[in-house]
Amino acid sequence: MTAVVTGGASGIGAAVVARLRAAGTDVVVADLHPVAGADPVDVTDAASVRALASRLAGRQVELLVHCAGTVAVGAVDTPSEQADEDWDRAFAVNVKAVWTVSRALLPLMGEGAAIVVVASAAGLRPIAEMAAYVASKSAAVGLARSMALDLAPRGIRVNCVCPGLVDTPMARAAQRGRSPAARDAVAARQGYLVGRDGTADELAEAIVLAGTNGYLTGSTIAVDGGRSLH
């Protein structure tokens, strides 16, 4: 089995890679900041994505996991010269890249293959001061559902996994940019029924399940400690 994991060099993506490799899967790691043995890929750049597809020519891709993501911090009413740039970047990485990479690799995917889009529980239940991020992740959920419908006739399954709080470099960066009140709410784990952060491995377990269970498609799976009650 060959799998491609975008954003697989760190955080949840790295945990997905480790779990797949432990199961004997041949994993191609596509990341803007690759670790040793990974493919340097900018998922927002069409030429870079086409180059990845060319390198994989002749191989059958059974699983594509979209873990590449970026965060944008800021409330709708917060004056910021960065706001438009942050909005564009959030949608470029969190939404358009899912579309671009999927379309580039679909010629290598046959019946029985699967795609997993890693969105966010913030796309199901918004969080304060992260409007662009929330909007982009909501869009990613909708895109995954549309892909499931469109690709079903080809026998390709598509699911979406929505993580809650997980201690990753991106999550830590997001918290640094929020107001003290918002950070306090996170510290108190407000709304989290489990009362703690998830782990990257717990998310990886759910992502691999979404990609390997043959009767699971068109699903949006919240792995968020019960925050979204989804």
pLDDT at site 1: 84
CA distances from 50 to 45, 46, 53, 197 (A): 9, 6, 5, 36
Question: Which DSSP letter does residue 77 get?
Answer: T
The rounded distance, in Å, linking the Cα atoms of 48 and 41 is 6
Is residue 64 within 8 Å of residue 109, measured between CB atoms?
yes
pLDDT of residue 42: 97
CB atoms within 10 A of CB 75: 14
Residue 125 has a pLDDT of: 95
Helix (H) or strand (E) holding 184: helix 180-187
The backbone torsions φ and ψ at residue 81, rounded to the nearest 5 degrees and listed phi first, read: -70, -15
Tell me which CATH homologous superfamily contains domain 2-223: NAD(P)-binding Rossmann-like Domain (3.40.50.720)
- Cβ 130 vs Cβ 72: under 8 Å: yes
pLDDT for residue 35: 75
Q: Which residues are catalytic?
A: 133
- Both tokens of residue 73? 């911090």
State how far the alpha carbon of 33 is from the alpha carbons of 16, 37, 48, in Å. 16, 11, 13
CB atoms within 10 A of CB 23: 12
- Residues in the chain where the model's pLDDT stays below 50: none
pLDDT number for residue 83: 85
**Model pLDDT, residue 183:** 60
